[in-house]
């Protein structure tokens, strides 16, 4: 839980402070007033980075540095970002101890629900991969490093593919390393999908008041059971094609998460209402999974999505918000406040 927040030279805030309630906090203001920037700052102080922009873009345009400070139930946290023409440096101070990078144990768990998530099912597979990997970063120790290592190794292989007169054997060591990392990533993804499948059908039926069958599937051109081995074989067989294209054609960066409703892929057959119910179910499961994995309740950030849900789905979401410190941005507080019987904190942004 976070009790307050002070922002200095952060995005649209020069020097501003906010106090928060233990339950539902409603951040209300007109469009372009800085509501999302405030929500983003909460995420930065809890997890260390934005879900929208690079670190350099968090610093106000004409300032050399930005600072985000908060008193939480785990102590005082400060994030500073210093920007020069050439570099951006970020450091974290938690209870007077300085860190250059936050491990999972040093973060405060957070679930974000924002407009782009409404396109999770209908958008490209990169959205769904991002959803799965972001959740793994919050629940599996070491996954963040594994993810970074894979991206670096993939980038190196792709650079080599563009090298003139590259011999196939020069790629072998990179193929092996990439496939080792890929197998570890896919093992974690498949494990997570299995955990989500244990609860998603009952929860979806409860939210939708229907008897639909629903499940999640991991889709890949490589065998999930022996991913590293199969991927290595495919990379070796398709080196010439990869060299022609200049990128790696197999691996976790090409895989997808499929949502299946009554034996049909949701992005093809689901109605708008069904898609929103699936997403709501996934977000509720995200809350549950993070709380169970971390042993503490995550914060919930809702960025301008409450108005996107109809009455029944708002009611369903509201019933879950009661147990979590929640931050909701909106241009119309009346749409939100009526669901909480006045038991909420209003934070006006002008």
221 within 8 A of 254, measured Cβ to Cβ:
yes
Model confidence over 153-176: pLDDT tens digits? 999 999 999 998 888 888 999 999
pLDDT of residue 197: 96
pLDDT (tens digit, 9 = 90+) per residue, 286-318?
Answer: 999 999 999 999 999 999 887 777 778 888 888
pLDDT of residue 266: 87
What's the pLDDT tens digit per position in 17-28? 999 999 999 999
**Which pLDDT score is estimated for 59?**
92
pLDDT digits (tens, 9 = 90+) for 232-271: 999 999 999 999 999 999 999 999 999 999 999 888 888 8
pLDDT of residue 269: 83
CA distance 259 to 285: 14
Q: pLDDT at position 339, please? A: 77
Percent of the chain residues topping a pLDDT of 90: 69
State how far the Cα of 266 lies from the Cα of 63, in Å rounded to an integer. 46
CA distance readout (Å), 67 to 8, 18, 133, 325: 5, 14, 28, 23
pTM of the model: 0.87
The residue among 149 and 51 whose pLDDT is bigger is 149
Q: What is the pLDDT of residues 57-82, one digit of tens each?
A: 899 988 999 999 999 998 999 999 99
What pLDDT is attached to residue 114?
Answer: 85
- Looking at residue 62, its pLDDT comes to 86
**Contact 46/299 with Cβ under 8 angstroms?**
yes
Q: In which band, very low, low, confident or very high, does the pLDDT at 214 lie, cut at 50, 70 and 90?
A: very high
Query: pLDDT-based confidence at 341, cuts 50/70/90?
Result: low
Q: How far apart are CA 295 and CA 275, in angstroms?
A: 30
pLDDT band for position 195 (50/70/90)? very high
Looking at every residue in the chain, the average pLDDT score rounds to 91
pLDDT of residue 342: 61
Mean pLDDT for the stretch of residues 125-136: 94
Asked whether residue 340 carries a pLDDT value surpassing 80, the answer given is: no
- Residues of the chain with pLDDT > 70, as a percent, come to 99
Q: What is the pLDDT of residue 15?
A: 95
pLDDT at 81: 94
Across residues 97-112, what is the average pLDDT? 91
């Amino acid at each position: 839980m976070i009790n307050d927040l002070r922002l200095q030279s952060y995005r649209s805030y020069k020097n501003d402070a906010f106090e928060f309630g233990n339950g539902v906090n409603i951040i209300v203001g007109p469009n372009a007033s800085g509501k999302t920037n405030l929500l983003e700052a909460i995420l930065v102080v809890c997890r260390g980075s934005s879900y929208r922009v690079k670190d350099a873009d968090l610093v106000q345009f004409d300032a050399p540095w930005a600072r985000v400070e908060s008193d939480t139930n785990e102590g005082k946290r400060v994030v500073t970002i210093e920007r020069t023409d050439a570099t951006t440096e970020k450091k974290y101070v938690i209870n007077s101890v300085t860190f250059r990078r936050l491990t999972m144990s040093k973060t405060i768990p957070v679930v974000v629900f924002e407009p782009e998530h409404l396109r999770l099912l209908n958008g490209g597979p990169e959205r769904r991969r991002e959803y799965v990997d972001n959740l793994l970063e919050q629940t599996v120790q070491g996954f963040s490093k594994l993810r970074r290592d894979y991206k670096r190794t993939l980038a190196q292989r792709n650079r080599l593919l563009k090298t003139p007169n590259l011999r196939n054997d020069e790629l072998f060591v990179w193929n092996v390393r990439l496939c080792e990392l890929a197998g570890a990533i896919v093992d974690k993804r498949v494990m997570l999908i299995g955990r989500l499948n244990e609860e998603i059908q009952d929860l979806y039926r409860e939210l939708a008041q229907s008897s639909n069958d629903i499940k999640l599937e991991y889709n890949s051109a490589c065998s999930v059971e022996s991913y590293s081995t199969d991927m290595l074989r495919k990379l070796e067989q398709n080196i010439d094609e990869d060299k022609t294209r200049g990128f790696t054609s197999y691996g976790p960066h090409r895989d997808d998460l499929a949502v299946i409703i009554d034996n049909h892929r949701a992005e093809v057959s689901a109605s708008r209402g069904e898609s929103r119910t699936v997403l709501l179910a996934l977000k509720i499961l995200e809350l549950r999974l993070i709380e169970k994995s971390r042993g503490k309740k995550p914060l919930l950030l809702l960025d301008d999505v409450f108005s996107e849900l109809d009455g029944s789905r708002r009611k369903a979401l509201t019933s879950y918000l009661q147990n979590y410190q929640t931050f909701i941005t909106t241009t119309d507080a009346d749409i939100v406040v009526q669901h909480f019987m006045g038991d909420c904190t209003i934070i006006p942004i002008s």
